[in-house]
Structure 1
Amino acid sequence: MLRIGVISDTHGLLRPEALDFLAGSDFIVHGGDIGNADILARLAAIAPLTVVRGNNDKGDWAAAVPPSALLEVGGVRLYALHDIADLDAAALPDDTRVVVYGHSHKPLAEQRGPVLYLNPGSAGPRRFSLPVTAAEVLVDAGQARASIVELIPRG
């Protein structure tokens, strides 16, 4: 079984709780609004990193970050982008099984036909009353399942 740690919307804040959660991941996907290059270096030190640029990722460091990315893990193809509104579902490769996105800060794991849509929520600064979360995708025998974890208890 392979474990993909999924994080998004760090906005320059990589919490110790997020690092603890991602430890032991075989791969990491960041859904954008990273905040700075230091976060990328720290995540890449944990596991191979796939990252996409968010609408708040600006400057020289962000220019090399793609707006979308494809990753294949254990026979499961993942597509990542920041804002789900930018997704052209008809243009996805037919064998895509997981779409990772961020932007809204609202965690969601929802199966729509053969595709799992996963927003890990925001692991960065708390926004409004939304939870501080990350997610994992477990890949086994060509199948993927996701879970969302609250990193910082509310209240």
Structure 2
Amino acid sequence: MTSRRVPSTATRIGLISDTHNLVRPEAMRYLDGCDAIIHAGDICNTDVLDKLAKIAPLTAVRGNNDSGEWAASLPTHARLTVQQVTILVVHDIADLDCAPRDEGVRVVVSGHSHKPSIAERDGVLYVNPGSAGPRRFKLPVCAGTLMVEGEQVRATFDSLLT
């Protein structure tokens, strides 16, 4: 697991997952202006990471479709702190290997299902921004944001296509 601290001035964190080698212009516009970006896996190509890293500091985890030498350097779990909020990132929520609340985690960001969701359980905010890559079934193509102010955090997700 990697750990990194985002500068305390960061308040808007872009959330993206399951791009599957497709960085839509709509996703780039949505993430523009973010103070940091989290990619929750299934990247499939380093070009995706390179494009996102040009927008803001990037934290990314390896998904089940990320393989090869480039992907071996990606962690399966990442933890970062934004202001007073600790965020844990994992691709598949089933791979969560701790009790987040017991670890001081306030937010868990995951991907994998391609289904956007926001739920709070036991004081932990669970966020899946859905898939920003190729459309799967009839699921929406979307991304999300975390807004952090001190120890307060709220999450949203938005459709990228109309």
**TM, length-normalised to structure 2:** 0.91
Matches within 5 A, 1:69-108: 69-90=78-99, 94-108=103-117
Question: In the alignment, what sits opposite 2:157?
Answer: 148
Cα separation, 2, equivalents of 1:44 and 1:150: 22
Matches within 5 A, 1:5-154: 5-90=14-99, 94-153=103-162
Cα separation, 2, equivalents of 1:13 and 1:92: 34
Cα separation, 2, equivalents of 1:113 and 1:97: 10
Q: Which amino acid aligns with 2:46?
A: A
Q: CA RMSD in A?
A: 1.2
Q: Secondary structure at the match of 2:50?
A: helix
Pairwise CA distance, 1:91: 6.3
List structure 1 segments (4+ residues) > 3 angstroms apart after TM superposition.
none
**TM, length-normalised to structure 1:** 0.95
Pairwise CA distance, 1:90: 2.3
Cα separation, 2, equivalents of 1:93 and 1:113: 10
Cα separation, 2, equivalents of 1:92 and 1:111: 11
| Percentage of pairs with the same residue | 57
Q: Which amino acid aligns with 1:64?
A: S
Superposed CA deviations along residues 49-107 of structure 1, whole A, max 9, x for unmatched, are 00000000011111101101001001100000000011134266532000000000000
Q: Unpaired segments of 5 or more residues in structure 1?
A: none
Cα separation, 1, equivalents of 2:101 and 2:134: 31
Q: Unpaired segments of 5 or more residues in structure 2?
A: 1-9
